[in-house]
Chain A
Amino acid sequence: MAQTTAEPDQNAEQAEEAAPDINSARAADGHRWETRDVEDPFDHFGIPAEDARGLLADMLLYRRFEEKAEEAYAIGKIGGFCHLHIGQEAAAAGCIKPLRSEDYVVTAYRDHTQALAKGVEPEAVMAELYGRRDGASGGKGGSMHIFDKSVRFMGGHGIVGGQIPLAAGIGWKVHYREEDEVVVCFMGDAAVNQGAFHETLNMSAIWQLPVIYVVENNAYGMGTAFKRVSKLSVADRGKGYGIPCSSVDGQDVLATYAHFRDLVAGVREQGGPRYVDVQTYRFRGHSMSDPVSGTYRSKAEVKSATEHDDPIALLRDRLMDADELDQEALEEMDADARETASAAADFADESPPPDPEALYTHVWAEVNEHGRLFFDGRDRPEGL
């Protein structure tokens, strides 16, 4: 189960033990979450095997989707920056699936699978990566800016830590209107060194905003190991604001799901905020333009993580060991995931690029009757 420290001022030694700053993915560090070895994980986490199969199917889709994006990037169908979530699928499924549809998710730029988890159509996500008209953001946002208001997926933000105050603002709306929705705000571990993070945690605590701040702690901010640029662990960086903090095995989707199921229920009933260090690992480079390993982490480290800490393999083995999944069912599940990813890519391929007129639409929500808003001296569509 997740390790929780309710209040920030526990003694440092205890806190360190509860929240190792090196996550399980780096086998060399020898840390292993005890819950990896529980005998009946479905019973332990209170997740029926049926639901676990659903989480496996979700994660397989995320994996196949990202592999498809990787492929499309390699042949130039996707441009710009493209940050894949491969290796971190349990964070998307485990943190988002416990939410209701009216709950909110806001995230940074590694946002494809979180969008899928919140219910954005795979076609719309892929078409956005392709920069096409039918993309979630009409082709104007791209990989880092997936938005879908209809499922309360609030983006897709490109400045490290920039989405954190936005989450507080969304939480403020819930608080202001006395609603019971919950906001999940994702960030990478590097974001905890931004001022926006600390300012927002403090404000959220003062006003008890219903926000769960989730650090997807993959141990690296781009190519800089977190421990090289931060004296304290990710878990400890959330302390000091009077917010309940916890850490969870982010490669174990059952552990993550169970933890978030409880957190979400708690926040809905008692208000927030919460801070969670979700310890995970990225199997690819920071973005498609970056190396998987090299100066900042070794090949052996990545190999070890992919062999021992693949969230999909972990759940697959558990289901198979419990006779809750056979090879045939797994293959069928995987074929479905591949087909959905392929169909999304085909859809994206066929979707036309944005109409040239879209260049000037949605710059201004309100074009005022008087005065000029555009100064480039170019021709624009009528009414702008």
Chain B
Amino acid sequence: MASMTYRAALNEALREEMERDPDVFLMGEEVAEYDGAYKVSKGLLDEFGERRVVDSPISELGFGGLGVGAAMAGLRPVIEFMTFNFAFLAIDQVINAAAKMYYMSNGQFPMPVVFRGPTGAALQLSAQHSQACETYYAHAPGCKVVTPATPADAKGLLKASIRDDDPVAFMEGELLYNFKGEVPEDDDFVIPLGKAEVKREGADVSIITHGKMLHVALQAANKLEEDGVEAEVLDLRTVRPLDVDAILETVKKTNRAVYLEEGWSFLGVGAQVVTLIQEEAFDWLDAPVLRVTQADVPMPYAKNLEQLAKPNADRVVDACNKVLYR
């Protein structure tokens, strides 16, 4: 195991996949000369040259679509969005083109393209830079959604995403880039998509989550432990494909669940997970499944309001106590 940041893990994954497959290239705003807005692509321009690490104009729709066309023609593009908040400008190409191309061409054009960048809030970036965007992409058949929360997951899942023949929205977190963790030193460390991981074992209540909320879930579990409650934390890691077996397994183990997500509640990822639980594990439940999400408001700027809007460990603890009838 090597200790490294989430940023370095992504960088390694990109480097290894570009070395492995000459059809992989990286394109986006600031990815080359500037080393990436968040330095994820640091050093790649020097190593691979400007044909494979490409600074784009600020034209999300244009270069997002260019990635789709390049995938149609047989390349494996990695398209970086500075944040998924900016990718709304490109969503026509992701949903109408990438996610539907394989189907409407009757299987003639697989879409091995990765759209990656941070999703969700950082600190005081306010309404247009703080949105969690997973739901938009996970909603559409044909688009996979991957949300790693740790350096190891970031590396293993990015490698799997680049190798996958479907379009993948690979969603990172601004606040995660400096987060350090252990990453296996295997030079071909790949984590299959669709495999959730129990990040903490517990028998009393399940906190199910994805993306950077994993860390909030773990904080909440620590607080609950002080109170004598053993929470199990299940990190979905990929939203679609969704590891339904792992969800049902933890629910059947603890009989109580809370879904924690960074985005809004209405039609959110948690809404889907709760539906699955009630459809497929109803008899195992000892309490309704609750959700902890962002407040149903655009993200405010003021520090205190932002804190109020975001989900946090205390809200998760409260929700767990509710489903435990404590």
> Which residues of A approach B to under 8 Å, CB–CB?
104, 106, 135, 137-141, 145, 147-149, 154-159, 162, 164-174, 176, 195-196, 199-200, 202-203, 206, 358, 361-366, 368-375, 377
Q: Which residues of B contact A370 (CB under 8 A)?
A: 192-195, 241, 243
A170 pairs with B72, CB closer than 8 A: yes
B104 pairs with A377, CB closer than 8 A: no
* CB of B321 within 8 Å of the partner chain: no
Q: Which one of A174, A371, A377 lies within 8 Å of B193 (CB-CB)?
A: A371
B69 pairs with A165, CB closer than 8 A: yes
Instruction: Select from chain A the residue with minimum beta-carbon distance to B239.
Output: A371
A149 pairs with B109, CB closer than 8 A: yes
B102 pairs with A374, CB closer than 8 A: no
- Stretch with Cβ within 8 A of A (4 or more), from B30-38, B90-98, B311-319: B90-98
Q: How far is the CA of A15 from the CA of B220 in the complex (A)?
A: 68
Q: How far is the CA of A166 from the CA of B243 in the complex (A)?
A: 33
Counting from the closest, the 4 A-B pairs by CB-CB distance are A169-B69, A371-B194, A165-B65, A371-B241
A165 pairs with B64, CB closer than 8 A: yes
B75 pairs with A176, CB closer than 8 A: yes
A373 pairs with B240, CB closer than 8 A: yes
Q: Which one of A137, A158, A169, A363 lies within 8 Å of B70 (CB-CB)?
A: A169
Tell me the B93-144 residues at the A interface (CB within 8 Å).
93, 96-97, 101-112, 141-142
Instruction: Select from chain B the residue with minimum beta-carbon distance to A104.
Output: B73
Choose among B64, B67, B104 the residue with the greatest number of A CB atoms under 10 Å from its CB: B104
B65 pairs with A196, CB closer than 8 A: yes
- Give the total of B residues in contact with A, Cβ under 8 Å: 56
Q: Which residues of B contact A158 (CB under 8 A)?
A: 96
Q: How far is the CA of A149 from the CA of B101 in the complex (A)?
A: 12
Q: Which residues of A contact B63 (CB under 8 A)?
A: 165, 199, 203
Choose among B66, B68, B238, B242 the residue with the greatest number of A CB atoms under 10 Å from its CB: B66
B66 pairs with A366, CB closer than 8 A: no
A170 pairs with B105, CB closer than 8 A: no
CB proximity of A285 to chain B, nearest CB, Å: 24
A169 pairs with B68, CB closer than 8 A: yes
A371 pairs with B73, CB closer than 8 A: no
Q: How far is the CA of A168 from the CA of B7 in the complex (A)?
A: 30
Q: How far is the CA of A195 from the CA of B65 in the complex (A)?
A: 12
Q: How far is the CA of A363 from the CA of B102 in the complex (A)?
A: 6
* CB of B298 within 8 Å of the partner chain: no
B109 pairs with A159, CB closer than 8 A: no
Tell me the B282-299 residues at the A interface (CB within 8 Å).
none
CB proximity of B61 to chain A, nearest CB, Å: 5
Q: Which residues of A contact B16 (CB under 8 A)?
A: none
CB proximity of A359 to chain B, nearest CB, Å: 10
Q: Which one of B25, B59, B97 lies within 8 Å of A176 (CB-CB)?
A: B25
B105 pairs with A147, CB closer than 8 A: yes
Q: Which residues of B contact A139 (CB under 8 A)?
A: 106
* CB of B235 within 8 Å of the partner chain: no
Q: Which one of A154, A156, A171, A365 lies within 8 Å of B102 (CB-CB)?
A: A365
Q: Which one of A140, A203, A371 lies within 8 Å of B59 (CB-CB)?
A: A203
A362 pairs with B106, CB closer than 8 A: yes
Q: Which residues of A contact B104 (CB under 8 A)?
A: 137, 140-141, 145, 147, 155-156
Choose among A137, A156, A370, A372 the residue with the greatest number of B CB atoms under 10 Å from its CB: A370
B105 pairs with A137, CB closer than 8 A: yes
* CB of B62 within 8 Å of the partner chain: yes
Other than the given A166-B72, A371-B242, 17 more pairs (CB < 8 A) read A135-B106, A141-B104, A147-B108, A154-B69, A157-B97, A162-B97, A169-B65, A171-B69, A196-B61, A202-B62, A203-B57, A358-B106, A365-B107, A368-B241, A373-B241, A375-B242, A375-B276
Tell me the B261-310 residues at the A interface (CB within 8 Å).
272, 276, 279
Q: Which one of B62, B68, B72, B272 lies within 8 Å of A375 (CB-CB)?
A: B272
B70 pairs with A173, CB closer than 8 A: yes
Q: How far is the CA of A369 from the CA of B195 in the complex (A)?
A: 9
B166 pairs with A365, CB closer than 8 A: yes
CB proximity of B191 to chain A, nearest CB, Å: 10
Instruction: Select from chain A the residue with minimum beta-carbon distance to B71.
Output: A169
A170 pairs with B106, CB closer than 8 A: no
Binary interface profile of B, 224-263, with partner A (CB < 8 Å = 1, else 0)? 0000000000000010111110000000000000000000
A154 pairs with B66, CB closer than 8 A: no
24 A-B contact pairs sorted by A residue (CB < 8 Å): A104-B73, A139-B106, A149-B108, A154-B109, A162-B96, A165-B63, A165-B68, A165-B93, A169-B70, A169-B71, A170-B73, A172-B69, A176-B75, A195-B62, A196-B61, A196-B62, A196-B65, A199-B59, A199-B61, A200-B66, A203-B63, A363-B102, A371-B193, A371-B243
